[in-house]
Structure formats: C-alpha cells, structure tokens
Chains A and B, each alone.
Chain A
C-alpha cells in the first residue's frame, strides 16, 4: 500500500470533522506505519462522492457512511486519545495492515 486515505466526516464538514482529523492523524502517527496516511475532513454530502479506505465519524452519520465506504469507525469521545488509538489499532488489525 502506498497511501491510506482516511476521511473524517461531520455534518457541516468544517468544525467537528476538523478536530477529528487532527486527533485521528495523531492516532495513526502513534503506529509508525510503513505507508503514508492522508486524513481529510469533509461533510457527509461531499464525502459520498469521494474514494477512501476508511471513514471516521460519529454515530449520527455511520449508517450513511457505510453505504460508500467499507470501513467506518465511530467515535464517542473525540478528545479521548486512548479511544482513538484503540479504534485505529482495531481497524489496522482487521484490515491486515499491521
């Protein structure tokens, strides 16, 4: 794999998804992966037309996200770095990337 493409998704695509992008990018960095990870934030409506490997979002948007992306992580506490790391780790394991 050359690059993993991750989208963080919220309603407006400007605020919460930005916070999520910053914290998720940090979580990926903690795994020291042999490929690059590109994290972008967007709104649900714009995300629909975008190819990606993983969507990180909240419960409200998870069902819609699953319609266009095979892997979806939902976050409960955006500031909980342990939750983010655990969920990223579970995804990487499940996808066979680590």
Chain B
C-alpha cells in the first residue's frame, strides 16, 4: 500500500487558487465528492470542524489535513490533494500559509487510522512536502503518490 492507492484518478488538483481557507478545504473536498468517495455533507463537516475547533488541522508548516468524523457520509476510503502555490491563510500562527490541502475520508474511525498512517509516512519522508508544493504536473509528484492510483470512475 502507498498513499497513492487511496487517491483516485481525479483526486489531485495542482496549482489551484483560493481566497479563504474554506474555499481551499471545499476544493480539496469536492475532488472526493466527484470521485464518489463521499457526499457533499462530508465536505461541510470538514469545514465545520475547522470553524468550530480552529486551524489545528494545519499540522506542519504549509500542510492542512482536512477531515471529519465519519457519519455515514463516506462511501469508501479516499484521499484527495489540492495545492495552492499562492498560499492560503488558515489562521494558524505557526504553520501558515498553507500550500497543500489533503482531504481525508474514511468509512470508519478504525480505517481513519490506516489513512492517516499513509499520510504521516508520506509527510515524514524528507523532501516530499517540497516536491508537492512545487509540483506543476502529476509527473513532478513523489512516486508513492503517483503510483497505484485507482480509477474510481471505472472501478
């Protein structure tokens, strides 16, 4: 398994623009909706989590991990990635601006663990965050993110 095995063919959007953190989270979340991973209410839950609990999802400089508690709105496990070369302010004094937003959806709490382990492994590999922030096309991405991607539309 690699992080790429959770990312659908349409699950990566590079070079996006967003004026607010909410727009950025919605753009990443909408990739999951279009892939059939979750319904729009899960995207709303991700936005509400930040609104209610603050920008703690910006876990490391430049990177936000948007997620919410699975409440039946997730059809299958999936991850999407959107990058914002202009940077987006989430209101996190230590880790703003955000250049990469991951949207993470798991069917159950237990499966969340597996997905977050993949994301942690990816972020923990030196150089991966910089590659992702600077990528202009999918070919620029780290191999573990490009390979094993599943085409949800066909599957």
- Bound-state CA distance A18–B104 (Å) is 13
Within 8 A of A (CB), among B16-30: none
Q: Are A79 and B65 in contact (CB under 8 A)?
A: no
Q: Are A23 and B69 in contact (CB under 8 A)?
A: no
Q: Are A16 and B56 in contact (CB under 8 A)?
A: yes
Q: Are B56 and A79 in contact (CB under 8 A)?
A: no
Q: How far is the CB of A44 from chain B (nearest CB, A)?
A: 8
Q: Is B10 an interface residue (CB 8 A)?
A: no
Note all chain B residues with C-beta closer than 8 A to A18: 112-113, 116-117
Give the size of the chain B interface in residues (CB under 8 angstroms). 28
Q: Is B73 an interface residue (CB 8 A)?
A: no
Dominant secondary structure at the A interface: loop
Closest to B106 in A: A14
Q: Is A22 an interface residue (CB 8 A)?
A: yes
Q: Are A23 and B120 in contact (CB under 8 A)?
A: yes
18 contacting pairs across A/B (C-beta < 8 A): A11-B49, A11-B54, A11-B56, A12-B49, A12-B68, A14-B67, A14-B69, A14-B70, A15-B104, A18-B113, A18-B116, A22-B117, A59-B54, A61-B56, A77-B61, A78-B60, A79-B120, A80-B60
Residues of A within 8 A of B (CB): 10-16, 18-19, 22-23, 58-61, 76-80
Q: Which of B60, B61, B116 contacts A15 (CB 8 A)?
A: B116
Q: Are B53 and A11 in contact (CB under 8 A)?
A: yes
Q: Are A16 and B54 in contact (CB under 8 A)?
A: no
4 closest A-B pairs by beta carbon, nearest first, are A11-B53, A60-B54, A58-B56, A79-B60
